[in-house]
Structure 1
């Protein structure tokens, strides 16, 4: 659906709802397509501890912050 800017101003709530339902909404300015209304992609909330027990560190992994820094700096 393409709608001009002036109409879109008065029908914004309805246009947003149509976009949320999957309809393609394009707003035109002077008859030329200008922008498209698309729904946001909602990121799922992170769950702390989701990988608990799944990640293992090798025995020779650096155990102190200084060892980690040294390994990146090549010391």
Structure 2
């Protein structure tokens, strides 16, 4: 997340607000100390965002996953199994 100082925020407020509305939140700081975070009103809460890869290494997918049960599925649909 980008951090800008108060002077820069005042100077470029329109552009910064537009970027935040488009999903690029930013932090306004005074003397390097973060004061406020600016995010779009409809931005999802951090806890509501889905994390990708959070089960990496936890699940084993069989090598024949793409063909598992194909004979049974063909039989169910009138195939020649």
In the superposition, the TM-score normalised over structure 2's length comes to: 0.48
Offset of residue 18 of structure 1: 0.6
RMSD, aligned CA = 0.9
Offset of residue 26 of structure 1: 0.4
SS at match of 2:14: helix
Unaligned runs of 5+ in 1: 42-75
Offset of residue 24 of structure 1: 2.0
Q: In the alignment, is residue 31 of structure 1 matched against residue 24 of structure 2? A: no
Q: In the alignment, is residue 2 of structure 1 matched against residue 3 of structure 2? A: yes
Cα separation, 1, equivalents of 2:16 and 2:38: 8
Q: In the alignment, is residue 15 of structure 1 matched against residue 16 of structure 2? A: yes
Q: Which residue of structure 2 lines up, in the alignment, with residue 54 of structure 1?
A: none
> Which aligned segments of 4 or more residues in structure 1 are displaced greater than 6 angstroms?
none
Equivalent residue runs for 1:53-64 within 5 Å: none
Offset of residue 33 of structure 1: 0.6
Q: Which residue of structure 1 lines up, in the alignment, with residue 50 of structure 2?
A: none
SS at match of 2:23: coil
Cα separation, 2, equivalents of 1:9 and 1:22: 20
> How many equivalent residue pairs?
41
